[in-house]
Structure formats: structure tokens, C-alpha cells
Amino acid sequence: MNRFYAMVGVLAVVLGIGVFALLRTGGGTAPAAAAGPPPTVVDDSFRGYSLGQGSAPVEIVEYLDFECPVCASFATIQMPTIKEQLINTGKVRWRYRDFPLAVHKYSRFAAHAAQCAGAQGRFFEMHDQLFNHHQWAQTGKDPSDLFRSFAQAAGVDLKAYDACMEGGRYAARIEFSRQEGDQLLVDGTPTFYANGKKLFPGLRRLPSSDDFKAVADSIIAHAPPKPRTQPEREHLRH
Amino acid sequence: MRHRQAIALLAVVGLFVALYLWLHALGFGGPIKCGTGSCETVQTSPWAIFLGLPVALYGVVGYLALLIVAMLSLRPSALVQNGWNLLLLMLATIGLLFTAYLTYVELFLIHAICRWCVGSALIIMAIWVVAVLAAKREWGEGSGTSRPTE
């Protein structure tokens, strides 16, 4: 019996060391902007980059994590149809908010890279780069150089990008968005809201473009008729 | 006795598998070590949270409960008591049913497989089989036995 207890003890120690080693290895050196939330968070009144017309009757807010594979699937598979059917037709305006999950080491860094590209008017191009080449999220390696090449491909001026990244200029903005998501009870990524109402709370799968079309059509059908005004200028990207 | 020892050893292994997944869910360490599996997809899906808590935490609690009960059942006084095998079988069955639900979610809703989850599923299945054998043996010898039977 004593031999058995010794066996349990040895097994627990060996497995404990194994778990510790697994948690320690991999990941590389985290760049400054990826290290964690900043000590102070200030509301800079920024509420996310949006796609679509300002007059669209439906605003969908997406809380996303750039390292999340489900977000990448959604961005690459569902979004092209949503853009074509709902955003480009003026029905929906789509707003992106950051919600970096603690489980992902480089989420904040990726969100920061997108914000730094956004400062140069290249948020959407960087967003596409990060999601279209999502293999970076599977390697666990420091993606600094890769993100620089994404930024270059997105048409970003690298000198300004480097200064923005090194200074962690938008770290507080990203944390503000995450805290906002916490208040709205975002419980995973991607999470969506339509005109402020949380979407698909009971849905046990990733929503499709058809789901969003149904939501948009329902909101538009139940909206009170608007008096005709001067045609508004279209902003597909602002 | 051998059955209960086997359950205790398997529960230790399962406990550390669940512990690793839970610590990862809390943000410790880098990306999950998964080989060619899709652990990140599973771990970051909406199904990785159950009733507001990470699924892996249920695994930690479940394996810990199995380990504690198995160790208690190995005390000399417990070896002659009935009911421990039934308790172990009940716990293992709850774990197996929860694992079956999670495997269904992986295969048919997330469409991704996490190797660590498969490992945990195999461990709980092995625990359940051992618990069934132990309970069967106890029942086969009839209730009221007062000697260590395994």
C-alpha cells in the first residue's frame, strides 16, 4: 500500500513538472503592447472603425479578438457575403470593437497593430491581413516581424507604424474597449450587438450571413417610416 | 482494491490534463500545445464556457472528486465497507456523460477536435470501465460482504 501512495506522489510530481513546463515554453518574448492591459485607461471617445453608411438603419457591433480562430473564420467566410448583401446595400453599418481574450498572448498586440494601421487610414486592410494569414496565431512565436510585413502589405508607412507600436499608443483604447465589452457581458468572441441588443444569445454555432440578413430585415421591417431627407453622402469606410 | 488504485492513478493523470487546460483558459502560458489538433478553436469557442465557468474547471473538480473518493476508499476501514464502488461509479458516470456532451459539441457544432480533450475523454472512459468492473464484482459477491474484495 505504501508503494501505491509513493506511486501516486511520484506521478503527481512528474505530471506537475510537465504542466509547468508546458505553460512556460513557447510564446517567445511578448512585445510591449502585448504585455497586458495598461495601468490607466482613458476614454478617448473612439468607438471603433466602422464599415457602411452612416444612415444605415442597423448598426452591428462586433467584439472580436484577432487571435481567435473563430473570429478569423467569420471574417474570411461570412463577412464577404455580409458586406455584399447588407453593408454595401446600405442596410447595415458594421463596427469593430476590440475584445482581446486573456487566453491569447498576442491578441492585444494584433489589436494594437490594427489600430496603428488605422491611424494611417489602413485599419480594414490590416484587419484583412491579420485574418487572412491567420497561421501566425497557431505558431506561438513572436509575430512582431510578421505584423510589420502585414502592415507593409496593407500600405502602412512603417516608420510611423514602428513608432506607434513601440510607444503602445493605443493600448489604453484597446483596454477601454475590452472593459466596455465586459460591461455589455461579452462572454466570448466574436460577440455581436444589433442597435445595442445582444444577438444570438442561445445560438450554439457561429452565425451565418443569413442570420444577419434575418436580423437586419426584421429591424428594418419593424422600424417606423422615416421622412424623406436629402440623400446622405455615403461613407463606405470611415 | 486494485480497481480503486487504478481509478486513483487515472484520476491523477486526468486532473493534470484538466489543470493544464484550465490554467491555459485563465491566460497562463503561451498558445496551447496541441500538435496538429484544433485546441485553440475549441478553447476559444462559446462552448468552452459552461454556466459561466471554463469547461476545464469542471474537469479539475471532477477528477479531484474522483481522486479524493478513490483515496478515501483505500483506507483500511473503507476496504470492508460497501458503497464506495457505487459512489465511484456514479462520479465516473457523471464525468462520462459530460464528456460525451463535450465530444458531441466538438464533432458536430465546433467541427474541431482538441487532442487534450480526446485524452481526457479516454481517461474518463477508462475510469468508468474500471468503476463498472469494481461495482460488478461487488454486486456479484452480494451485498453485506465484510472483507476486502478487490
Question: Are the beta carbons of B85 and B134 closer than 8 angstroms?
Answer: yes
Contacts of A188 in chain B (CB under 8 A): 44-46, 48-49
Q: What is the pTM of this model?
A: 0.57
Top residue of B5, B40, B67 to mutate, by most chain A CBs within 10 Å, is B40
pLDDT at A45: 82
User: In this complex, is the C-beta atom of B56 within 8 Å of any C-beta atom belonging to chain A?
Assistant: no
- Divide the 238 residues of chain A into consecutive groups of 10 and give the mean pLDDT of each group: 85 91 62 65 85 92 94 93 95 95 89 95 95 84 87 92 89 93 90 92 82 94 68 44
CA A234, chain centre distance (Å): 25
Alpha carbon separation from B125 to A56, A166, B66, B105, B134 (Å, rounded): 53, 50, 13, 17, 14
pLDDT digits (tens, 9 = 90+) for B122-150: 999 999 999 999 888 877 766 544 444 44
Residue type, A213: K
pLDDT at A1: 65
**Of A158, A138, A139, which Cα lies nearest the Cα of A147?**
A158
- How many CB atoms neighbour CB A169 within 10 A? 15
pLDDT at B147: 46
* Inter-chain CB proximity B44 and A137 less than 8 Å: no
* Inter-chain CB proximity B16 and A12 less than 8 Å: yes
- Divide the 150 residues of chain B into consecutive groups of 10 and give the mean pLDDT of each group: 91 94 77 69 74 88 95 86 88 95 86 86 96 85 50
Residues contacting A8, CB < 8 A, separation 6+: B8, B9, B12, B71
